[in-house]
Amino acid sequence: MGSSEEEELTFGEAEMNVFKQNLKGVKALMESGITRIPNAYVKPLDERPTKLSAAAAADGNKIEIPVIDLADLDGDGQDQVVKTIGEACEKWGFFQVINHGVPTSVIHSMMQVCQEFFDLPTEEKMELYSDDTLKPVRFGTSYSLSKDTVLEWRDYLRCPCRPLSDFIHLWPAKPSTFREVTMEYSKEIAALAKRLCYALSESLGLESECLYEVIGKHQQILMPNHYPACPNPDLTIGLSAHSDAGGITILLQDHVGGLEVFNEGQWIAVKPLPDAFVVNLADQTQILTNGKYKSVEHRATVNAQRARISISTFFQPAADAKIAPIPELLGGQPPMYRESLFGVYLRDFFTNRLNRKSAVDSLKLSGKTKTRKSHTVQGFKKKLRKCRNCINRAP
């Protein structure tokens, strides 16, 4: 695209504000009959999907994130599965799981009810609309209309799940089965997250409960995303490159595809597998493991043919949890990250928008600094106590 055309795409501030005020989500925008994306969605050249995806395509897209069969996780093959998970976490920070134990019927009902939610009349969804990123339950579009200078091709719903009694009455009342189906799904995903956290801890040589205690059992936030088909998918993005802020994310996606993972300098497409989950590690796990396990950047592209639905579930520490590298994992090395309160981290993360990995990078220490003495601990009881006492409690 030539630079003169580029200039035409620039959207003035006043024009943008009017556009944002009238916006009721990308799906509603498409239903209004547009044939070209509004300028508000045109990303700068270096944030458009084509450049790096083309590099990946030139490679024949042969590289794929690992697919891990969990059938043996609780059986004879446990050690091997745990080892495979550990390798995937070190190399990729991303993998898919099959034979994960979540019933297919639960998966299908969840996808169906999310589809029905996004298919509701715009005005009904707008009753839940808020641009306040601190509001727990809300329907939203782009990331945040007040914060985004260029918008993104995505509508979403945010539903915290824990404790259920604090939030379930705030979840959408329509479709009529939404609450029941989502409750069932969130329980199944919580059980899967627990098994995965145990496996992660074991793969690091930690006591099984260790990571679960910090990242797995506190906040659980479900976020269904809807990415409408887009007339100009090369000019915009569904969700910009980012790493997730919490501990571990479990994503269910339909068959359309669009999720890409940044690995060794290129974007790799995650091939949708029926009824599988995509698992990715998030920033707190990178900090806790002192960088051994990675919280990897990813993004969602859109396409001209089909709308896409994905359902993210974020597992993250309590807001008052103190997060720092786990002493046993330092192996004599200084910690790479300074300690922070997860609630403060999250606030900074949202303030900086999904600014690639800047939030986690801002906690990086220079080689010589140490935040606190690492403890020498023997035996599992003490080790476990350390996980709880030193990492997961406010000062």
Binding site for ligand OGA (CB under 6 A): 223, 225, 239, 244, 251, 253, 259, 298, 300, 310, 312
Q: How near is the Cβ of 93 to ligand OGA at its closest, in Å?
A: 12
Closest-approach residue to Ni ion (CB): 244
- Closest CB to Ni ion among residues 152, 244: 244
Q: How near is the Cβ of 312 to ligand OGA at its closest, in Å?
A: 4
- Closest CB to ligand OGA among residues 39, 303: 303
Q: How near is the Cβ of 218 to ligand OGA at its closest, in Å?
A: 18
Q: How near is the Cβ of 283 to ligand OGA at its closest, in Å?
A: 12
From Ni ion, ligand OGA, none, interface partner of 300 (C-beta below 5 to 8 A by class): ligand OGA
Q: What is the 3-state secondary structure (H, E, C) of the chain?
A: CCHHHHHHCCCCHHHHHHHHHHCCCHHHHHHCCCCCCCHHHCCCHHHCCHHHHHHHHHCCCCCCCCEEECCCCCCCCHHHHHHHHHHHHHHCCEEEEECCCCCHHHHHHHHHHHHHHHHCCHHHHHCCECCCCCCCCEEEECCCCCCCCCCCCCEEEEEECCCHHHHHHHCCCCCCCHHHHHHHHHHHHHHHHHHHHHHHHHHCCCCCCHHHHHHHCCEEEEEEEEECCCCCCCCCCCEEEECCCCCEEEEEECCCCCEEEEECCEEEECCCCCCCEEEEECHHHHHHCCCCCCCCCEEECCCCCCCEEEEEEEEECCCCCEECCCHHHCCCCCCCECCEEHHHHHHHHHHCCCCECHHHHCCECCCCCCCCCCCCCCCHHHHHHHHHHHHCCCC
- Closest CB to ligand OGA among residues 253, 374: 253
Q: How near is the Cβ of 304 to ligand OGA at its closest, in Å?
A: 17
From ligand OGA, Ni ion, none, interface partner of 141 (C-beta below 5 to 8 A by class): none
Q: Which residues sit opposite 222 in a β-bridge?
A: 159, 313
Distance CA 47, CA 370 (A): 36
Q: How near is the Cβ of 244 to Ni ion at its closest, in Å?
A: 4
Q: Which stretches of the chain bind Ni ion, using CB under 5 A?
A: 244
Give whole-number Cα distances, 138 to 24, 46, 101, 132, 374, in Å: 13, 31, 30, 9, 42
From Ni ion, ligand OGA, none, interface partner of 27 (C-beta below 5 to 8 A by class): none
From Ni ion, ligand OGA, none, interface partner of 310 (C-beta below 5 to 8 A by class): ligand OGA
- Closest CB to ligand OGA among residues 224, 327: 224
- Closest CB to ligand OGA among residues 53, 310: 310
Q: How near is the Cβ of 239 to ligand OGA at its closest, in Å?
A: 5
Distance CA 237, CA 218 (A): 31
- Closest CB to ligand OGA among residues 102, 114: 114
- Closest CB to ligand OGA among residues 125, 298: 298
Q: How near is the Cβ of 308 to ligand OGA at its closest, in Å?
A: 8
- Closest CB to ligand OGA among residues 110, 259: 259
From Ni ion, ligand OGA, none, interface partner of 199 (C-beta below 5 to 8 A by class): none
